Amino acid sequence: VVHPGHNNYSGTLVNALVHHFGNLPMNQQEVPRPGLVHRIDKDTSGLLVVAKNELAMTHLAKQFFDHSIERKYRALVWGDLENDEGTVNEFIGRSIKDRRVMQVYTDGEQGKNAITHYKVIERFHYVTLIECQLETGRTHQIRIHLKHLGHPLFNDVAYGGSRIVKGTSFTKYKQFIDNCFKLLPGQALHAYSLGFVHPISHKKIYFESELPDPYKEILEKWSRYTSRD
């Protein structure tokens, strides 16, 4: 968990940052979160940038506000996407029925505008590995946008991806899926690339984070499984 919240008051990233660095700059949001200029969901792996001083906070926050930060994710989704690439441009807001999750508001009268670009990296017939690039940074944006397309993230409990969405009813297939689920702590989503302008040098810098070993193992499992079809 990135920052303290309901049922998660300790053991978060922010708790660790404050312990390690002491004083950190506060963001300008309603709830102060030391050092944070953005977040990633619990159980989403990968890169997160933290501001250690006021200058860094100001520069990074503006870049996020201007949508100039380059963020790319690797997502394993259920099903075989129709197009090799595309864009989801749908408003996102809190669900009326369950405030813990988000939903798409197609009429645009509620929620906030959210834009996700995606392209296919590899197809496994039952699931597809895609790259997602965020133009905006809404809560659960990739997860709810892909669910809206009918392709929820693999093993995403909150958005319907922790059950068999596509495939057969054979016992061996069900066992294969269960074995894959057990490898992941949550949804198959990894923040693998982050690019921004450095607050001091003003040079564009990029960082990349390899897929975690469990994620790689699942892709290898799918590759072997579908090669037998």
Annotated catalytic residue, options 41, 80, 178, 213: 41
Tell me the residue length of the chain: 229
Contact 136/67 with Cβ under 8 angstroms?
yes
- Indicate the SS3 state at residue 153: strand
The answer to whether residue 229 is catalytic is no
Radius of gyration of the chain (CA): 19
Cα 95 from Cα 100, distance rounded (Å): 8
- Indicate the SS3 state at residue 91: strand
The number of helix segments (H) and strand segments (E) in the chain equals: 5, 9
Beta-strand relationship, 189-197 and 45-46: parallel
Q: Which residues contact 40 (CB under 8 A, 6 or more apart)?
A: 2, 46, 48, 191
Active site residues: 41
